[in-house]
Amino acid sequence: MAVSKVPQSSRVGIKVQTGVSTAGAPVYRVRNLQNVKSAAPDEDVYAVAQAMAALQQHSVVSISRVDEANLVNE
C-alpha cells in the first residue's frame, strides 16, 4: 500500500507577548497569516514572517508554520 501526501494549505503563526498577567505570567497572542502557498520554501516564509513581525508593537516570541495535507492511498 503506497500512501502519498497531497499538500492543501499552509499558514504562519507569529507568537507575540502582549503583556503580563496580574500574577506576573507572560500573556501571549498568535497572529496568523493565512493562505500561504504550500510550495513556498521555508526560508522565504520565514523572511516574510520576520518582515511582518517587525510591524508588531509587541515583542515576537516565535514564528511557526503549519502545513495541512491529505493522505491518499494509491
User: What is the model's pLDDT at position 56?
Assistant: 87
pTM for this predicted structure: 0.81
Q: Give 30-53 pLDDT, tens digit per residue.
A: 999 999 999 999 999 999 999 999
Going 34 to 36 to 41 to 47, the CA torsion angle's sign is negative
Q: 37: which 3 cell numbers?
A: 502557498
For residues 6-17, average pLDDT: 94
Q: 17: which 3 cell numbers?
A: 507577548
Domain ranges of the chain: 3-73
Other residues' Cβ atoms within 10 Å of the Cβ of residue 29: 13
Rounded CA separation 41/21 (Å): 37
Q: Which residues, 6+ apart, have CB-to-CB distance to 60 below 8 Å?
A: 14, 15, 16, 53
Q: 10: which 3 cell numbers?
A: 499552509
